[in-house]
């Protein structure tokens, strides 16, 4: 049996400000740092050992992982940063306040953009300084791979091939893996692992800084799963 821990980053400054973050590089709040440390504490209590961890290119996920490792008191030898694990790109909505956009476009339209499986928000102009093409951290990525906007389906289509080719081989070698990423890249991974339907995935919410502990058999089928902090657990809609 192998363990996979999925962890959404701790609260970011833009989470706190109720803004669409996407590929913008918002930092952690003090609460976010505390959530990351608590995640490390919960994992340490269970004495789960990792040799491999994966995270995104975004500092809120990277700092979450670093604070967690500090709490573990044990290094993780192999840490990989992959842009494919980035948050979903929210297009022209990035940086804007969610409540203000609901007033402008209507709550129904905002919820379609936020929660539907295959409807992306309006695209971000490539000339916008907040477009990933204009950010140094993405300079090594093929420009054709950098999105102007994404639906959850688009996020799934970049995250899951990466998961299959880079994370599954480690799990198949019976080594535990920690993935510190984002709400939507983790929703994509959960959709894949738990076989969640397109209809039900729109209901899945993943709280910040609360590790999901998943036990996998030798065929990487889910045996058990649970949030480590049960006081902030959410339903996962397993096999629905």
Res. 1 pLDDT band, cuts 50 70 90 = confident
Segment 187-201 mean pLDDT: 95
- Catalytic position from the list 87, 150, 182, 213: 87
Distance between CA 195 and CA 157 in Å, rounded?
15
Q: How far is CA 72 from the centre of its chain?
A: 21
CA angle 177, 178, 180 (to 5 degrees): 150
Q: What's the mean per-residue pLDDT of the chain?
A: 95
Averaged pLDDT for residues 191-218: 94
Q: Running DSSP on this structure, what letter comes out for residue 163?
A: I
Whether the per-residue pLDDT at 239 is higher than 60: the answer is no
**Number of Cβ within a 10 Å radius of residue 8:** 28
Q: How far is CA 8 from the centre of its chain?
A: 5
**Least confident range of 9-18, 108-117, 169-178, 179-188:** 108-117
In this prediction, residue 65 carries a pLDDT of: 98
- 182 labelled catalytic: no
What is the reported pLDDT for 237? 67
- Burial code (b: 16+ CB inside 10 Å, e: under 16) for 148-173 equals bbbbbbbbbebbbebbeebbeebbee
Count of C-beta atoms within a 10 Å radius of residue 104: 11
pLDDT over 80 at 125, yes or no: yes
Asked if the 2-90+150-232 domain carries CATH number 3.40.50.1240, the reply is yes
One-character DSSP codes across 37-93: HHHHHHHHHTT---SEEEE-SSHHHHHHHHHHHHHHTS--SEEEE-GGGSPPP-GGG
Q: Name which of 112, 48, 38, 105 is nearest 74 in CA terms.
A: 48
Please check the confidence at residue 88 and state whether its pLDDT lies above 80.
Answer: yes
Mean pLDDT of 115-132: 93
The rounded distance, in Å, linking the Cα atoms of 223 and 236 is: 14
Catalytic status, residue 131: no
The mean pLDDT value for 28-51 works out to 96
User: The pTM is what?
Assistant: 0.95
pLDDT digits (tens, 9 = 90+) for 137-178: 999 999 999 999 999 999 999 999 999 999 999 999 999 999
pLDDT > 60? residue 231: yes
* Annotated active-site residue in 9, 89, 131, 182: 9
């Amino acid at each position: 049996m192998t363990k996979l821990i999925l962890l959404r980053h701790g609260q970011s400054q833009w989470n706190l400000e109720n803004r669409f973050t996407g590929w913008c590089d918002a930092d952690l709040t003090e609460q976010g740092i505390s959530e990351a440390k608590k995640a490390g504490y919960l994992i340490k209590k269970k004495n789960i050992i990792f040799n491999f961890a994966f995270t995104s290119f975004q500092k809120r996920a990277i700092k979450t992982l670093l604070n967690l490792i500090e709490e573990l008191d044990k290094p993780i030898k192999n840490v990989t940063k992959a842009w494919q694990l980035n948050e979903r790109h929210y297009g022209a909505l990035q940086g804007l306040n969610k409540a203000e956009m609901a007033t402008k476009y209507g709550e129904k339209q905002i919820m379609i953009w936020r929660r539907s499986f295959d409807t992306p928000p309006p695209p971000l102009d490539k000339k916008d300084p907040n477009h990933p093409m204009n950010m140094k951290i993405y300079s090594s990525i093929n420009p054709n791979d950098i999105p102007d906007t994404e639906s959850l389906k688009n996020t799934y289509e970049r995250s899951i091939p990466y998961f299959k080719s880079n994370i599954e081989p480690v799990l198949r070698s019976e080594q535990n893996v920690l993935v510190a990423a984002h709400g939507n890249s983790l929703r994509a991974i959960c959709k894949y692992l738990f076989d969640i339907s397109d209809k039900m995935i729109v209901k899945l919410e993943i709280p910040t800084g609360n590790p999901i502990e998943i036990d996998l058999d030798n065929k990487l089928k889910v045996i058990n799963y649970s949030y480590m902090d049960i006081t902030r657990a959410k339903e996962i809609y397993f096999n629905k």
